Amino acid sequence: LTDYLLLGMEFGGLNAYTENEAFPGELQSYYVSGLEFGVFGKAVFPVEETFLWTLGLGLIGVTTSDAEYHLAGTGGGTLVQTYKGTAAGVKIMGGGEWFLTPYMAVGAEIGYRYAKIEEVTDRDETVRWVNGDGSNFTIDYSGPYGQGGIRVYF
């Protein structure tokens, strides 16, 4: 937008570790993948012509439609549990970018993401997953993160 403010869009993959107590004393653990998409605004602090620091805030959406595969007893069959849910979240971030050309940079960023799916269903949305105590099974993608890569400017 200006020499000191930029807006952007992002899309990326996520992975969350979560636990569910389906029945009292039976703790199940899962790694559930998801997708993150959103928009962000960053304040830009140029240090020299080809390097800058950034500080930003993002509004994101997260979604999952993942499946877990488990052996079903001694018969050798497979039990498939599917998870579906969405949530809105926020990110705060800080990083730096070194420009290779006026439209391409190599950058790195660290930050904190808050995004928690509070209600999870099966893929057909016919079953709502709950814990043994009746509370909602949740998937929490919150936490610190770091990323790096090539940035392209239009």
> pLDDT tens digits for 89-111?
999 999 999 999 999 999 999 99
Average pLDDT over residues 48-74: 85
Average pLDDT over residues 27-51: 90
Q: Is the predicted pLDDT of residue 73 greater than 60, yes or no? A: no
Nearest-5° angle of CA 26, CA 33, CA 130? Answer: 35
What percentage of the chain carries pLDDT values higher than 90?
53
Q: Is the predicted pLDDT of residue 71 greater than 70, yes or no? A: no
User: What are phi and psi for residue 126, nearest 5 degrees?
Assistant: -100, -20
Query: Sign of torsion, CA 6 141 119 77?
Result: positive
pTM of the model: 0.80
Q: Which residues neighbour 140 within 8 Å (Cβ) at sequence distance 6 or greater?
A: 16, 18, 115, 116, 117
**Please, which pLDDT band fits residue 136 given cuts at 50, 70 and 90?**
confident
